[in-house]
Amino acid sequence: MALRLALVQMSVGINKMDNIAHACKLIREAANKGAQLVALPECFNSPYGTKYFKEYSEPIPGPTTMSLAQVAKDCKVYVVGGSIPESDDGHLYNTCSVFAPNGEIIAKYRKMHLFDIDVPGKIRFQESEVLKAGNRFATFNAGPCTIGIGICYDIRFAELAQIYAQKGCHLLLYPGAFNMTTGPLHWELLQRARALDNQLYVAAISPARDENASYIAWGHTTAVGPWGDVLVTTDHEETILYTDIETEKLKQVRENIPLNNQRRLNVYTRTKPVQSQNPTTSLKNNDMSGYQIDVNQHVD
Ligand SMILES: NC(=O)CC(=O)C(=O)O
């Protein structure tokens, strides 16, 4: 049994209401062409940039997610709502909401690894100047598939994908907006790496490129199969890509190359959570104080 996926590489402008209306129109188009799950890009209702997030932010539910809920219900499709700047309790998050074909929100994911990089002379971007990181995983079921959500920079962290694989995900969806510095070499490579490491499907959905934007997105929305093969990809213009997710393929690849039976967990160094004094305390970004590494396991 397969799940028909549509990946919407949409143009995003400066008018929020226009962006929402445009996303809904493209979701309808994809549903009319047989998609069962339609995925939008990162930051689809706002230009991508720290200077925009506060102005474009809204609570969830709010105008953007209510529009997506309605279109999901009208078209009877799953919608992975890319991401939007979310406001909650005085904080801003980069958040993806997922809608079932009855319009209900069935998952919500806040970008866990904030995009803070500095490549001198090329790009400096510090999401943490305005955003707070999420601390929760998000999975949901659609037809035969269990799907895990990450957002953009999250794809660089192999651990997140591995945890989703352990939770039984067949497909990882990363709404993302790589850029002209990192995109050419890293965008596809990271998707293929996560797919191969975990022997599952990976797709990353970018906004279309706007050469006049302050942050120029790489585009190249792509889906990769559990064999590491690129199933569908594109350049940087607005378009919708379609592909089928077949859960049986995972079984086949995992039988051919049985990594899951061959891991030497008994000899790997593991990071171990130390018993927290206060388990209700939420983890701060990059706070490793609750973890330790047992280096002795490496000594023969
Ligand atoms: N925009 C991002 O979150 C990540 C990115 O562009 C990169 O990792 O490169």
Q: Is 198 in the pocket of ligand 1 (CB under 6 A)?
A: no
Active-site residue list:
42, 111, 152
Q: How confident is the model at residue 265, as a pLDDT?
A: 85
Altogether, the residues listed in the chain come to a count of 300
From the CA of 28, how far away is ligand 1's center (Å)? 28
- Res 235 pLDDT > 60: yes
C-alpha to C-alpha distance for 24 and 75, rounded to whole angstroms: 10
State pLDDT tens for residues 87-115. 999 999 999 999 999 999 999 999 999 99
Q: How confident is the model at residue 275, as a pLDDT?
A: 59
ipTM: 0.98
Which residue, 100, 34, 76, 53, is CA-closest to 240? Answer: 34
CB 72 within 8 A of CB 103: yes
- Ligand 1, atom 2: closest residue by C-alpha: 153
Atom of ligand 1 nearest to the CA of 152: 3
Which residue, 155, 151, 146, 116, is CA-closest to 134? Answer: 151
C-alpha to C-alpha distance for 146 and 200, rounded to whole angstroms: 11
Amino acid found at 250: L
Residues 191/196/198/199 CA torsion (nearest 10 deg): 110
Q: Give the DSSP per-residue string, 115-148.
A: -EEEETTTEEEEGGGT--------EEEETTEEEE
CB 107 within 8 A of CB 138: yes
State pLDDT tens for residues 42-57. 999 999 999 999 999 9
Which residue, 13, 10, 35, is CA-closest to 23? Answer: 10
Mean pLDDT of 116-140: 98
Q: Is 156 in the pocket of ligand 1 (CB under 6 A)?
A: yes
Please state whether beta strands 116-119 and 123-126 pair in parallel, antiparallel, or not at all (unpaired).
Answer: antiparallel
From the CA of 17, how far away is ligand 1's center (Å)? 25
From the CA of 133, how far away is ligand 1's center (Å)? 14
- Res 8 pLDDT > 60: yes
CB 221 within 8 A of CB 205: yes
Confidence of residue 280 (pLDDT cuts 50, 70, 90): very low
Which residue, 131, 115, 124, is CA-closest to 174? Answer: 115
- Pocket test residue of 116, 152, 180 for ligand 1, highest count of atoms within 8 A of CB: 152
- Pocket test residue of 12, 117, 153, 157 for ligand 1, highest count of atoms within 8 A of CB: 153
Q: Is 174 in the pocket of ligand 1 (CB under 6 A)?
A: no
- Tell me the two tokens of residue 249: 């393929």
SS3 at position 230: strand
Q: What's the chain's average pLDDT?
A: 93
Mean pLDDT of 148-170: 98
- What are the CA-CA distances from residue 96 to residues 84, 139, 165, 188, 233 (Å)? 7, 12, 19, 21, 22
- What are the CA-CA distances from residue 300 to residues 238, 267, 270, 297 (Å)? 55, 10, 16, 8
Helix, strand and coil percent figures for the chain, each rounded to 5? 30, 30, 40
